[in-house]
Amino acid sequence: MGLPREDLLEHYRDEGCELARSCLNCPFPHCIEDMPRGRQRQRKEIRNREIFRSYSQGEGVKQIAHRLKVSERTVQRALKERQKVL
């Protein structure tokens, strides 16, 4: 694919996004701006990882839901999805 043309970079400002400070150094394989519902999907993945981490450290469903400001059902759903993957 090669490097971008210099004339295109001349006016480019690498401002990143809420998930990465720099587009050129982004840790994600695809830009969330280019994916359908990308931001929503990425936030959900981050939230679900936090739910699973908290639950695996012994925090209860009700406490997780209260702390993350989501319903208990959302926490249960995230844990169930995680079990399908494992």
Angle at 69 between CA 48 and CA 21, to 5 degrees: 60
CA end-to-end span of the chain? 36
- The span from the CA of 69 to the CA of 86, in Å, is 26
- The span from the CA of 18 to the CA of 24, in Å, is 14
pTM, two decimals, is 0.63
Residue boundaries of the structural domains of the chain: 14-85
Angle at 41 between CA 56 and CA 68, to 5 degrees: 45
Question: Over the stretch 18-68, which tens digit does the pLDDT of each residue have?
Answer: 778 888 888 878 787 787 887 788 889 889 999 999 999 999 999 999 999
